[in-house]
Amino acid sequence: MLAQGDDVVPIPGTRRERYLRDNLGAADVELTADDLAALAEAVPVEAVQGDRYPDMSSIDA
């Protein structure tokens, strides 16, 4: 995610400190231009669609 630019900020979701440490360790991973190209080819932007969460506005209380 950090390779996407300065305006993209990953927010790790975890409840355990050990997983937070693992997530923070990912900041030290450096991807090459070839790595990034392979990822872009594997998951093209146009292939990603839909909302992350379902629409909650229609839930009956």
Q: Are 23 and 14 in contact (CB under 8 A)?
A: yes
In the chain, domain spans: 2-47
pTM reported for the whole predicted model: 0.56
CA 47 to chain centre: 15
Q: Cβ neighbours of residue 3 under 8 Å, at least 6 residues apart?
A: 31, 36
Residue with tokens 């209380």: 61
Per-residue model confidence as pLDDT tens digits over 1-60 = 777 788 888 788 888 999 999 888 888 889 999 999 999 999 888 888 887 777 777 666
